[in-house]
Structure 1
Amino acid sequence: MDFTREQALNEARIAASRAENLARYAESAAHNFDNRPQVPMFAAAGAVWADTARAYAALAAVLPETAPETEGTDV
C-alpha cells in the first residue's frame, strides 16, 4: 500500500493535536508547584510530536494529490 497525501495530512493533524495537548499539560503543570517537575517531560514530548507533525506535513507537501475515485467507470 502506498502512503497518500491525505494519509500524511491526517498523521500530521493527529501529531499536532498530541503536541497541543502536551503543551497544555506543560502549561498546567507549570502553574502548580507540586507538578513543576513534570514540565520538562511534557515539553519534550510535545516538541517530539510537533516535529512529527512538521515531518508529516512536509511529506504531504511533496506527495501528489490523490485523484478522486470514480464509481462505475471502466478503465
Structure 2
Amino acid sequence: MDRAKHLALADAAVTRAERLAGDAERYVTSHDPNRYTQVERYAQAGALWADVARTHAAIAAAMPETDTETESADA
C-alpha cells in the first residue's frame, strides 16, 4: 500500500468520524429516552474512526513521497 492510499483511507476515516460525531450531537438534543445510550455508542464509534484516521496519516507521514517501484519503472 502506498502513501496516497494511506492518505485516502485517512480522509475516508475522518469523514466517517465526523459523520458519527454529528449523529452523536443529534442524539444529545433529541427527545428519545434512550438518547444517552445512543450518544455514547456514536461517540465511541467516532473515536475509533478518528484513531484509524490518525494511524493511516502517521503511516503515510513515515513513507516516502513516491513509490520506489514506480521510480525504477520510470528510469
TM-score (norm 1): 0.83
Percent sequence identity is: 47
Residue identity matched to 1:59? I
Structure 2 unaligned spans of 5+: none
Counterpart for residue 53 of structure 2: 53
Q: Which structure has more helix as a fraction of its residues? A: 2
TM-score, normalised by the number of residues in structure 2:
0.83
One-letter amino acid matched to 2:62 = V
**Residues paired across the two proteins, number:** 70
The aligned residue for residue 38 of structure 1 is: 38
Residue in 2 aligned with 1:29? Answer: 27
Amino acid at match of 2:61: A
Q: 2:57 corresponds to which letter in structure 1?
A: A
CA RMSD of aligned residues (A): 2.0
- Displacement after TM superposition at 1:74 (Å): 6.8
